Structure 1
Amino acid sequence: MKKKSSYLWPTIIAASMAVGIFVGGKLNFNDSPEKLFTTNSKKDKLNRLIDYIDYEYVDEINTDSIVDITVNNILEKLDPHSVYIPKQEMDKVAENMKGDFVGIGVSFYMYKDTISIIRAIENGPSFLKGLKAGDRILMADKDTLFGERIPNDVIIEKLKGEKGSPVELQVYRKEDKRFFRVNVKRDVVPIKSVDAYYMLSPAMGYIKVNRFAETTFKEFKTALEKLRALGAQKLTLDLRDNPGGYLGIAEQMADEFLSEGKLILFTKNKKGKVDKVFATKKGDFEDKPVYVLINERSASASEIIAGSLQDNDLGTIVGRRSFGKGLVQREMDLGDGSAIRLTVSRYYTPTGRSIQKSYANGNRDYYQRFTERFHSGELFSVDSIKLADSLKFKTPKGKVVYGGGGIIPDVFVPIQNYETLAWENLENGGLFSRFIFEHLDENRAQYAAYSKEAFIKDFKVDDVLFGLFSHYCISNNLNMDLSAYQKKIKLFLKASLAEQLFDANTYAEIKSQGDAMLQKVLELDKEASTLSEPEK
């Protein structure tokens, strides 16, 4: 990789920070609607202004767009996490947090202007009708689904529908060179928030959670039960890149690890009302060894989990300083299909820490502070984190922890370099999976003999596949020297192959082999096991 471009990597990486970080719950006001929405001069002024523009302004104006701009401008003056959700985006936002939608059950890639199935979701509608990876969907009923100018959202709209509603698909199967029609009944399709779970070692389970949606705790419990059946007595909970979600789900997950009566967190609203949340006796993994992985993109609900365990002297937080978001939002309907997420309180960890970083100088400065982490050296050394003594707190066992700007891990794991982190961002962004899809589209038969176990153990990415990927990068205007990162790139290629040939668990298991944080967890666990062994 050329040196002259290396200074760009921090900016590129920072710009990829996920938007929409929040921790919140459903609307539950104690005040009546009449009390909340009485008329007053401030509201009348805004209403009158819109009416004047609507009826008197010289040109035709879309006053809906003016209202949207006004709402956004008002919320921007409050804090970085109070946001407006337009009507046209509400369905997508609701689906993501609900954890499912109604559709035909395929993940697809628009390849050469045609819908190409990456994988039919196991036991989903399409899977049960025999559709498989590589199939092209050409039509849904009488609607044509191929063509350069058909947007993704239009295609998705054609494939979604009411539960139980039928859709006739016209399909081309490349490997047989044949066209056929199949009738599929739409059904509920899960949007998984537990990306993967598997045994990291004979006694250590691993669970990766990507957000805190309505279904997350149920998914988490299912994964945990399966891992315990496989012998898991310890757990690695991976919350890296997890931007948060529902407060109640984070509380339930923390309760799994904390014994009855332990404080999980408390919230405080503008009136000074304090609500404390304590662990119950429901937890199935209480007081067992747990490692929580966090990084600079772990936020809100992820920080609640890490903070509650850290402040109760339970488990080990591994990684890099988290984002620093300690505000609680509620989603509120605006009456026309749109909504706002409004900050209604702050949350505090059990020792009384607020991990919210300052937003006193506005949203631009707030997110610039995040970008500065990539330039300050913080990702390479924990000593680069500068915090005031006034933000220092102590846990019951005397461990020093800090508020203000995120959770600082117990064990710091630096990035290797910006280029390595950039490759990980490109991998997360789909570069490798798109290449692998196109490779499998031409060469799927050569992998048919592999079982999952044999693929993990025996398959090696050769120089031919690596060379093809190099050419693919060049064709996509990524003119970089890949040779210095050959080992990591080959690992990513193998993991992406595993995901499309088998499942997300196989992908995660293979990728863990080059994961510095997971290797650190295994090292820490080995040290802990050695210390706990009785003297002979």
Structure 2
Amino acid sequence: MKLKSYLLPFVLAMAFAFGLLIGGKLNFNDTPEKLFSTNSKKDKLNRLIDYIDYEYVDEVNTDSIVDVTVNNILDKLDPHSVYIPRQEAARVADNMKGDFVGVGISFNMFKDTVAVIRPLEGGPSMLAGIRAGDRILVADEDTLYGKNYNNEMVVRKLRGMVNTPVNLKVYRKSEDKVYDVEINRSKVPLPSLDAYYMLTEDLGYIRLNRFAESTFKEFKVAMKALKSMGMKKLALDLRDNPGGYLGIAEQITDEFLPSRKLMLFTRNKSGAVEQSFATRRGDFEDGEVFVMLNEKSASASEIVAGAIQDNDRGTIVGRRSFGKGLVQREMELGDGSSVRLTVSRYYTPTGRSIQRSYENGTDDYYEQFYKRYDNGELYSADSIRVADSLVFKTPKGKIVYGGGGIIPDIFVPLEETRKETYYNGFFESGIMSFYVFEYLDAHREDFVDMDFEVFQEEFTVGNEFVDGFEKYLRKADFDADLYEYRDSAKKYIKATIAEQLYGQNAYQQVLRKEDPMILAVIDISKKSDL
């Protein structure tokens, strides 16, 4: 059949337009069925997974392949873009929210039984009368003891929805009785503030372990309490703090800076700059501020310290910080997993980027960090390498440097060897907590009428405690010679006893009584009064 002559130009025009559409999408490496695909890279990965699922000769867990693939992709980007698997998502979310829903106990599996180390402050177990040393035997008619039980199984049983009840059978050793206790699950705080107390008559102390959703509220509570005790100056301890939410770091920084002072700015892929300024809401804009950093202070910790330093607002004390100047955003991947992807860089008010170089890959990036123990910079300020090309000046003319962490105004050397640092980390682990729990389980009555102040001043940890800990380690198949580290072991044993009796605030006060960096801050604070 012939086309009518007046239709021919129209048909030719349509064919030409359709040809342009096809040509714009054509990729000569694609198969015909891929012609209209808008993202052949994603389809390539999907097709490979399908081939492995349906055609590969052996059974393969393709979920694990996907996890490895995602991790490998992110590893090629930067050291701080990370993948959060589905099974880790809830734990990570709880940690950053600053609370979880449960009964609110710290516990160990002690001789195959759930033993309460301490009911958590503000949690439902404390309100229900649960005490340190109690054994939880049954939850809703399910036994919680036996060799097959582990911590994860107990957590699954005791956590749940808000306001849902759980019926427990609790054995109290001191009374040799079993009690029936009903507890309504509720939100239980996961504190990001380790401690607050007064160091001197006018110098307060706050230690933050991360920047979670709840951190600013915790910080405000601590500040109010310290002011009521006479605080005029603040030592803010951000040592070992790996960071957290950018917005929380901004809120805390805002407490110290007057209105309209620049706190930081970020720059994204397109070059768009977003500035963050202090508001009028700051409650400590005139008091003296000391920020304590070490080599493990990163990210949000460096944002706070950088803003304080660049605005000539306070004194940075300690050692060069980690050096992380990248900002991540968490993005869901549709199956319960997510990725924290670097979306911008941040800069301190003077324009510094404090991000360390990662051009040689992630392994080299972290290896360069550990070389700080060997190149001397943790022990001498003169060993800190700075780039002359990255010199900046604060409004008052103080020289500051970019390119790899916040360099302190007052340097305090690490007084431990690398081996001592390892042992102190070992002392902070669960194994010492188990040992101390067994000691308290046999001697809890000795502390019934002893308040923390008396404990702090009068209770002594002697050599017999260290000898007992060494025997405990050998029974647990740990080969550790503590002869050179007895004094450190005694300090950690006393601090752990204090924690299980009086809480985390007490732990920090015992542990840091002779802390060189805190003593340095106290000394600087006193000199500023002269």
- The TM-score normalised by the length of structure 1 is 0.89
Change (3 A) 1:399 1:438: same
Amino acid at match of 2:313: L
Quote the residue 1:404 is aligned against: 403
Q: Secondary structure at the match of 2:529?
A: helix
SS at match of 1:214: coil
The number of aligned residues is 493
Please list, as runs of the form range in 1=range in 2, the aligned pairs for 1:465-480 lying within 5 A after superposition: 465-476=465-476
> Aligned residue for 1:8?
none
Q: Does 1:438 find its partner at 2:438?
A: yes
Residue matched to 1:56: 55
Q: Which runs of 5+ in 1 are unaligned?
A: 1-37, 531-536
CA RMSD of aligned residues (A): 1.7
| C-alpha contact (below 8 Å) 1:140/1:169 kept by paired residues | yes
Letter paired with 1:428: E
| d(CA) in 2 for partners of 1:41, 1:466 | 63
Are the equivalent residues in 2 in contact too, given 1:323–1:406 (CA < 8 A)?
A: yes
Aligned to 2:322: 323
Aligned counterparts of 1:167 and 1:481: Cα–Cα separation in 2: 44
Name the CA distance, whole Å, in 2 between partners of 1:515 and 1:430.
22
| Structure 2 counterparts to residues 59-458 of structure 1, below 5 A | 59-418=58-417, 419-458=419-458
Q: Deviation per CA, 1:99-130, whole angstroms, max 9, x where unpaired? A: 11110110001222221101012342111221
Is residue 424–residue 488 contact of structure 2 (8 Å, CA) maintained in 1?
A: no
Write the letter of the residue equivalent to 2:506: T
SS for the counterpart of 2:207 is strand
Deviates more, 1:382-391 or 1:421-430: 421-430
Contact 1:327/1:346 (CA < 8 Å) preserved in 2?
Answer: yes
Residue 510 of structure 2 is matched in structure 1 by 510
Amino acid at match of 2:39: N
Q: Deviations over 1:469-503 (max 9, x none)?
A: 34334444555554544443333222222111112
Unaligned runs of 5+ in 2: 1-36
Whether the aligned pair in 2 keeps the contact of 1:117 and 1:133 (CA below 8 Å) is yes
Instruction: Give the drift of 1:40.
Output: 1.6
Q: Residue by residue, what CA displacement relative to the aligned partner does 1:61-102 show, whole Å, maximum 9, x if unpaired?
A: 332222222211111111111111111111111111111111
Deviation at 1:183, TM superposition (A): 1.5
CA distance in 2, matches of 1:193, 1:274: 30
Range moving further from structure 2, 468-477 or 397-406: 468-477
For 2:507 and 2:39, locate their aligned partners in 1 and report how far apart those are by CA, in whole Å.
Answer: 57
Larger displacement relative to structure 2 (494-503 or 237-246): 494-503
2:350 alignment partner AA: T
Secondary structure in 1 matching 2:513:
helix
Answer yes or no: is the 8 Å Cα contact 2:122–2:188 preserved in 1: no
Could you list the per-position Cα deviations for residues 221-255 of structure 1 after superposition, in whole angstroms to 9, with x for gaps in the alignment? 11101111111010011111111100000001001
Change (3 A) 1:94 1:480: closer
- Which is further off, 187-196 or 385-394? 385-394
Deviation at 1:454, TM superposition (A): 1.6
Cα gap change, 1:287 to 1:501, in 2 (>3 Å): same
2: CA distance, partners of 1:431 / 1:381: 33
Q: What is the CA–CA distance in structure 2 between the aligned matches of 1:414 and 1:493, rounded to whole Å?
A: 25
- Once residues 492 and 342 of structure 1 are traced to their aligned partners in structure 2, the CA distance between those partners, rounded to angstroms, is 38
**Alpha-carbon separation, structure 2, partners of 1:301 and 1:266:** 13
Query: CA separation in 2, counterparts of 1:152 and 1:469?
Result: 23
- 1:18 aligns to what? none
Q: Give the conservation status (yes or no) of the 8 Å contact 1:491–1:514.
A: no
- Taking a change above 3 Å as real, the CA distance of residues 124 and 49 of structure 1, as seen in their structure-2 partners, is same
Q: Offset at 1:180?
A: 2.6
Q: Deviations over 1:339-363 (max 9, x none)?
A: 1000000001111111111111111
CA distance in 2, matches of 1:478, 1:46: 45
Tell me the equivalent position of 1:492.
492
Structure 2 counterpart of 1:442, one-letter code? A
| Distance in 2 of aligned mates of 1:303 and 1:427 | 27
Any conservation in 1 of the 2:117–2:437 contact (CA below 8 Å)? Answer: yes
Q: Provide the C-alpha distance between the structure 2 equivalents of 1:406 and 1:429, rounded to a whole number of angstroms.
A: 28
Change (3 A) 1:285 1:48: same
* Sequence identity (%): 58
- Would you say the 8 A contact 1:415–1:421 is kept in 2? no
How far apart in 2 are the matches of 1:465 and 1:89?
37
Alpha-carbon distance change, 467 to 69 in structure 1, aligned in 2, over 3 angstroms: closer
| CA shift for structure 1 position 261 | 1.2
Please give the alpha-carbon distance, in whole angstroms, between the structure 2 residues aligned to 1:130 and 1:43. Answer: 56
Larger Rg: 2
Name the structure, 1 or 2, with higher relative contact order (CA <8 Å, separation 6+): 1
Mapped contact 2:108–2:151 kept (Cα < 8 A)? no
Greater mean deviation of Cα atoms: 184-193 or 499-508: 499-508
Whether the 8 Å CA contact 2:212–2:245 is kept in 1: the answer is yes
Distance in structure 2 (CA, Å) of the matches to 1:510 and 1:350: 37
